[in-house]
Structure 1
Amino acid sequence: MRRNITVDPLAYANPVQNPEITELLDLASGEILDAIQWISARRYDHLIADRVSIRENLSTDPRFSCALCPVPVYLVSSPEKRFFFRHKSEDGSCPAKTRSVLSREEIQALKYDGQRESEAHKTAKAHIVRSLAADPTNSEIHSERQWRSTRNPSSRRQPDVQAQTVFGRVAFEVQLSTTFLDVVAERRSFYRQEGALLIWVMAGFNPDDRRLTTDDLLFSNNSNILVVDEETAQLSEQESCCYVRCHYRVPDIIDGSLRDCWKNEIVAFRDLTVDPDSQTAWAYDYAGQADLLLQRQEATRLEDEEDLRQRICSFWITRNQQTPETVSRAKIWQDFVFELSAKGVRAPINDRYDRAVTGLMNGVLSAREKTPVGWDFKSLIQVVHRICDGYPEHALALGFALREYECDDLIKAQDKKGKWAKRSQAIRQAILNGDERFVPDPETLPFLKFMFPSIGARVEKFLASGLAKSQF
């Protein structure tokens, strides 16, 4: 027997190595996407949620089609939980062949023991009925009764259990491991159109041994799984209140990365958070808590980076350019280099002689402060000429800095003889002509982007797009 493979929800999804469909057409944007890259760029839990959504909207609002033909596609998995895209239908016209020769019923017959599961199914339904009946807030409790659509009388479903609850009319379906995704999607759509709620219930749950059919329900339900068993049924009868056991993921930030642990608790059914639009019912808001943790982590990261920037700038402005610094001051710079390296930013080791930082910091900080920094000059215009003479690779960054810090009027006022006005035009043309003297040094880009993000972004865009006039 093939052993079930359980994937860490936070791990990135794995595609099959040689899929038949290699490219997708995004039907909203018209963009052609690499199927393998699209799959492998997503966390497993997010991919499963996407898989459910894609399948649910396949007939009415498909997200992707095959790039070789107009047929919509959806995500399926190998037994090893490697993913690929399959045509909704195949008539032989597309060179990509994605459909099995076996029918869904044949696959199910090969994989599962229907009789054994039927007994488990009956037991799970009985637990649900007992739990609902014990709570006087529930009424019209029925097992295996047809639910006719109020919009289309010819459309109907037969949920395992249905009841009138504090959340309105609710259908309960037992999932044991054999429910195909298309069945899940069709039922979700049906009850959403009815303005009702579909709740999937399991007889048990082991987070370390999850089938794909379980993951489809788990990750499309805010990482919550609801279980009704003998213990919860007995508690419901004792307390005259319907109870369910909820298994859910709890996020945390450990060593700078998002991590999960699993918890479970018995909760009152009426205390669940439900949403008929998304067809969800959960006790713990995993998505909200994970987003909050990541937002806090990002805010802390940005605060730490800004603090380091300001400390480096303050150090640079107060350093003595003309005479050797004391040992303690040199140590401060080495500490800055260590902090930058810890953030993945490559920085020069020597703050005095390395042109990658001296000209850059002196030029940009002079523009920011609107007064010379690092050189014993009297005016900003002198700094501008010095950069163009001695550090031409930083002329572009300086030009962006002068614009960023609104120095145009000051430069014009200091350019009394109009020397800079003429020279700036010549430098601009030299840059547009690809003069290598003025091409920014890519090696300094990580440091520039960290210290002065907006200026660094403009220089990076310039380098990426070539010498385009629109960039200068």
Structure 2
Amino acid sequence: MLHRLVEPAHKQQHQFILDRLVGVWLTLGEFMGDGDYGDVIADRRVGVRVEISEGQDRYVCPACEKPMILASHRIQNRTKERFYFKHLFDDGSCSGVAGLGEKAIAALRFGQTKESVEHQRFKFRLLESLELDPSFTNTMAERRWVDEDGVKWRQPDVQAHCNGQRIAFEAQLSTTFLHVIVERMVFYRRNGGRLLWLFRDLDVSHFRLAEEDIFYSNNRNAFRVTEKTVELSRAGKHFVLECVWHVPTLTRGGVSDKLAHGIVRFDQLTFDVSRGGVPRTYFYDYEGARLQAEHRLAERAQTERDQELRQAFENFYLPFLNGELNSDQVETEWPELLSRFRSRGLGLPAWPDNPKGPFHYLLAAYSARAGVPIGTDHEDLVKLAHYLVDKRKHTLWIFRLMLEAYDQKEVMRRYDTTGRWLSKVKQYRDAFRRGDSHYMPNRGFDDLLCFLFPEISDKLVQAPGTFLGSART
């Protein structure tokens, strides 16, 4: 079976066709759609001629509004069809919109949109919705809104007052030039009004450029009025709209947008101006949510970097405490850690076992976590605990917090065969309560220790005695 390709003709006198039913201009590609050759012939070429024969001039020339049809050139042994628009009766008197300026085309499009059947339906649904909500007054359709200078004016599809605020409702039913959109935004804002654009449909994936201009400038929100929303407005006596919006979502790769959909009340909408100075209307604050998502993303990235740095420190320090590193390894690896921690805003001593640094705090913390002494000759954790009470009282706070965090009560009970440790627990707990200076930790190490041991960071910075926990620790 011969497969025929479908493509636009290279030379096209008429770039657009007007769909009178919905009041929208279509390019040749939009008119033909995504179907194959058979679909184009059946649905567009033949289908349009059937409508014309039944007296329905739906597709017409935007310039003269006379019926147009789909014609084609066949090339390359009947394997390719190149289509183009032409008048049903082409006497050569109409050249379409070729040669018209941007403003003239915008005015022509705007006027034809206003006259469409769909536009009339839109206005009827909107007017009915506003009448059902007692907070709206002075509702009018197609009435002039005169500028404060008394010279310029706009004629919104519908306008009304709500709680003392004048509001313009405009239908975005066809492609509109950006300057037309912006002129309306600026006009209503300058004259103390608010503007709400309403769409034909809310399929964001098929938005045209003009619809994207409005959607993205309105904080990624779009609205429309339907038969369903009219019924909901009638039931609740509140003007409701259908709304779609983007929701920034945190993923493994970063922040991506998901589409959300819902029914919202008009009084839930926010009217403000963006950081770029664009007047906007929205239900969901995408911009604020995006900032929060990016903040969470940055926090997650920092957490991952912190964990990697924390692990790098342990990969060095635990073997160092156990005497497993030679001097060359220490001299090579420790300066690198110094630099990395300095970049993180944390200080380390010039040498890892400097007694004036956090050496004994680290020894106590890592030992308590492991449940066995690390970096010392003590036989078990209780013997190390006796040594800390006798010689390193300032390390007891982090030691007991790590014992509690890793539930080492059973270890301490097993090795406290004489009960002497329990008596010393009472001794240092009483000292904590009194605030005895001999038992107080060096607060200069708090930032580093909180970084290395985040599981106890919230308690570590508190005064000893605040969290006393088990009697054995």
| TM-score, scaled to structure 1 | 0.48
| TM-score, scaled to structure 2 | 0.48
Larger radius of gyration: 2
